[in-house]
Structure 1
């Protein structure tokens, strides 16, 4: 039987696409491109090497080992296979096996092979490592640039621990002012005194660029802010500690003229007017998050302090836990969000509105009037929003992620939750890759069909959790898409159907057959048994080209036995219970 003719140009194109995706950090897309290239030519050593490296980036070492072993089998005289296989084994912690691969490579490669020297050097280093090696002070043995790069990988907490090793290390680290550009108190196990922050700023020679302040005594917050205000290069500030005097906080924070990002945690109470004032006074802000806005803009004059134009803001988070009994309308929450041709936030990419606890009618999300549009959002997250019937029609085509928690649709209770409350529209969402509904009562067969089928969205992550008005059989009907309204549904890799009725072993079998690329699956609080776990675990041993499930969540699944869970984990399936 003749061998299939290899389309070398197509292989090269797919390999370049995978390499570009890898450089851009989109490892899953890189895997898909390299896999398609190997479908054209499964003996291409270079493509196998690329895919193995990408699997390493995803920490999927079993797949990386398989590709590397295939390289060695196809080209025993090529050093790349041995080098890749040994590296994968080292990353996976199998140093003894990596040493054996280097030794085996030196036996198989010809005497004059150019790769023998490198393999010999790596083998020597690995033997030294396994034997304990010669212990030397790394800060005296390494070049200054390498030592600096290495230290840059440590967290603030780790750096603080390194300071206590010896006086020599303390002196060496103190002299590296660039190492002290970000004070981060996140990992502190106890209250941090304000004097420690002062010491850190001193080490940076007052050139601090970022600060994450948490776990300090509230009374010391003003002192810490005062010290930070003296750092002219500070661009990123996250304050997760309480401030006992909100007016003083506002007066101080607007002095930080160079800030590009600010996060005010739930312990920082700010009025709606103060939030607008901060945005107006700090025009360089690109990211802003306020998690405790304590009053509500029930009158138009409350919004006067907000900026008429803020072209730099790209991410905005507004959080609160206060209900407005008078019926809060959204245009006052973020004034100027809607527009006809010009927006107050023309470059806004991420908007998150978090009302917690998320009541069904915490606030009415009606951001645009007739003829207006939203900014080119990429991410929209709503918690506790009562959306309008035109909600789907106002979503921008740029949207990539939509997350919806709790909430309702205005007037949805009329006639129950069985109908389609969304205004009919021909809108499509060509960039929507992540769609999450959690405890959203208006999600049903009709409304979900709009987001999954009519939108033509290229979804990769879909969660429909705790949505009690859609049943398993209805969900399967949409996902199977018999009329092929949206072929992209078959490419979903991350699926959540927690607490969905009618989801049992049979339903999961249909889901698995319909969605061959699944790698993450959440079946929490469903009727599955251990049969589902065993079925999904067994697919990991199949040689099919389809993806293998990596993570399975089964919290609250009483029908799954401990034996089934142990079996799945022994097969390499990560199971969360």
Structure 2
């Protein structure tokens, strides 16, 4: 019996016929080899032989077979595209090059060749007379287009050509925001100096990252009289004292945000010398070495955010002294505060600024803070198990008729407490009495957004969430109204019966979060059918959802469903949907 030749032997024999220019026999031999065991080499050599015979269609077909055999091998793309170019089909060849660049590793030694051929044919397909857009577009329109480009991309555009560099360098309006947030390595002094000169010292905003020359920033604060916003993402270690110098040298500064850790003393002096500051954010404060003595008033301040990273025992943040000195403060966000640092809080409503937003994240306190009547948005994430009682002194004294967004978490909450908070108030002189006189709030605004997470209390199991006046959310006429657009009850004891009770109220809910509850797929369907304005449902980690039918039902009705399961559903393990 004759020995069967290997693919390598067929390939070698086909190469010999190719060198002898006996192309017909070469094709026959290579075809026999492909029938035995198709390889990239056999297809490649047969495609080359077909090219010699001017049978380009057959050559392209073999090239495509090479791509099918191994998408990560560059030879198939090079062979196929080169034949297509000979067939005067450059657009299709360009598509093959693009497809190859998606599949071939950039570390392949021939990837650069693939890219060069792609760029070459791209240039060939370009208009015969290419025009620089900056020479055609009006200056105003060009600046408008470039204004939408991130600062880092605009800097990269300066490397395109000398003409582009000169054009961009002479447009001061493009350099008004020095944004170094996209810097991947330390930024040089010369780059920042050039950028400021290109702005003609008219810099209005600066975002500092990976720049260690603080003396340059002091000079910028002195030279750029129109500088109004300054944000530090990073700065050199133990250089926070220079921030005070910068604030002193920039009297027109309106917004000042610092992400790295600074000391209490630095924060205090920034506010002391930055009398024109309207928006201040201290995103990392070490409150261990100083007792705060705020030196106000801070009449321009309307937004203040403070995140504490370290704090010493027994130190006070001095909020009872700070807040009365901020007569125009509208937004206050405090996070990571223990009770002794957060308190004392102002004890008189007249001492509180006209805040519209109060955000307290990961905080602790011995008593609930007194709230101003101007409040529209309240977010309190208590870091502990504080019992929020209905006769809490500041709950009874606070009047929040304008409140539309409420988010609570980490409390032991009762329905009577929520009712007392939203619907009534009492005078201070009655607070210490056993039965204080409660006054109903008149013309109170209904809630538009409500989020209650992780609350504790035996009443929840007894009266539930939505059934009747004794339930947690049925107690106040401000909650379940047509104005309610967003509801978050994740982690609460919610089941299908509770969802059915919810749907007895006429609400305008567009978004609902029922994650980590005991609902089943029936609740999903009830929400879809019962809430005509519903747009999104979040139902992650709900173990009682026994199938995907309800999810698909909602999606077919045009409702977006976010869900994640950690258990087996049917025969399929579900991760994300």
* Equivalent position to 2:522, from 531, 541, 552: 531
> Equivalents in 2 of 1:337, 1:457: separation in Å?
26
The answer as to whether partners of 1:258 and 1:284 remain within 8 angstroms in 2 is yes
1: CA distance, partners of 2:476 / 2:243? 56
How far apart in 2 are the matches of 1:452 and 1:260? 35
**Whose Rg is larger?**
2
The equivalences for 1:101-116 within 5 A come to none
Q: Which secondary structure does the structure 1 equivalent of 2:346 belong to?
A: coil
Residue 307 of structure 1 aligns with which residue?
295
For residue 551 of structure 1, what is the aligned residue in structure 2? 536
**Stretch moving more, 549-558 or 423-432:** 423-432
Q: Residue 403 of structure 1 corresponds to which residue in structure 2?
A: 379
| Matches for 1:444-463 after TM superposition, within 5 Å | 444-454=414-424, 456-463=444-451
Q: What displacement does 1:364 show?
A: 3.7
Aligned residue runs from structure 1 range 380-459, under 5 A? 380-387=358-365, 389=367, 391=369, 394-407=370-383, 420-423=391-394, 425=396, 427-438=398-409, 440-454=410-424, 456-459=444-447
Alignment of 1:181-192 (within 5 A): 181-188=176-183, 192=187
- Name whichever structure is richer in strand by fraction: 2
Is contact 1:297–1:333 with CA below 8 Å preserved after alignment? Answer: no
Q: 1:418 to 1:209 in 2, by over 3 A?
A: closer
Q: 1:211 deviation in Å?
A: 1.0
Cα distance in 2 between the residues matched to 1:482 and 1:468? 17
The runs of 5 or more residues in structure 1 that have no matched partner are 1-131, 339-343, 540-545
| Cα drift, residue 336 of structure 1 | 3.8
| 1:8-407 → structure 2 map (5 Å cutoff) | 138-188=133-183, 192-214=187-209, 216=210, 219-220=212-213, 223-224=216-217, 226-227=219-220, 229-245=222-238, 246-265=240-259, 267-270=260-263, 272-296=264-288, 299=291, 302-303=292-293, 306-326=294-314, 328-330=315-317, 332-333=318-319, 335-338=321-324, 344-355=325-336, 361=339, 363-369=341-347, 372-387=350-365, 389=367, 391=369, 394-407=370-383
1:315 CA displacement: 1.0
The separation in 2 between residues aligned to 1:261 and 1:526, in whole angstroms, is 42
Helix, strand or coil at the partner of 1:441: strand
- The residue matched to 1:375 in structure 2 has which SS? coil
- Report if aligned partners of 2:244, 2:273 keep a CA contact under 8 Å in 1: no
Provide the C-alpha distance between the structure 2 equivalents of 1:387 and 1:347, rounded to a whole number of angstroms: 25
Tell me if structure 2 keeps the 8 A contact 1:408–1:442: no
Q: Cα 1:329–1:185, aligned 2, differ >3 Å: closer, same or farther?
A: same
Contact 2:340–2:365 (8 Å) recurs in 1:
no
Separation in structure 2 between the aligned mates of residue 255 and residue 376 of structure 1, nearest angstrom: 30
Tell me the CA shift for residue 555 of structure 1: 2.6
| C-alpha distance in 2 between matches for 1:233 and 1:139 | 28
Contact 1:525 1:556 in 2 (8 A): yes
Find the residue that maps to 1:205 and give its secondary structure: coil
Partners of 1:324 and 1:362 within 8 A in 2: no
Structure 2 gap ranges (5+): 1-125, 425-440, 564-577
Whether the 8 Å contact between 1:208 and 1:234 is mirrored in structure 2 is yes
Q: For each residue in 1:280-316, what CA deviation from the matched residue of structure 2 results, as whole angstroms up to 9, or x when unmatched?
A: 21211111111222125774xx41xx32312111111
1:406 Cα deviation after fit: 1.7
Q: Are residues 1:495 and 2:487 paired?
A: yes
Compute the TM-score of the two structures, normalised by the length of structure 1: 0.63
User: In structure 1, how many angstroms separate the alpha carbons of the residues matched to 2:535 and 2:246?
Assistant: 49
State the superposition RMSD in angstroms.
3.4
Deviations 1:516-556 (A, max 9, x none): 211111112111223333344456xxxxxx75222222232
Relative to 1, partners in 2 of residues 1:179 and 1:187: Cα closer, same or farther, differing over 3 Å?
same
8 A contact 1:236–1:261 mirrored in 2: yes
Q: Which residue is equivalent to 1:28?
A: none
- 1:471 aligns with 460
Provide the secondary structure at the position in 2 that maps to 1:351.
Answer: strand
Alpha-carbon shift at residue 510 of structure 1 (Å): 2.7
Cα gap change, 1:323 to 1:484, in 2 (>3 Å): closer
Separation in structure 2 between the aligned mates of residue 324 and residue 512 of structure 1, nearest angstrom: 49
Q: Contact between 1:238 and 1:264, CA under 8 Å: does it hold in 2?
A: yes
Answer whether contact 1:240 1:268 (CA < 8 A) is retained.
no
Alignment size in residue pairs: 413
Which sits farther off after the overlay, 394-403 or 146-155? 146-155
1:571 corresponds to: 557
Q: Cα–Cα, structure 1 residues 421 and 484, in superposed 2: closer, same or farther, change >3 Å?
A: closer
**SS of residue paired to 2:411:** coil
State the secondary structure of the residue aligned to 1:292: strand
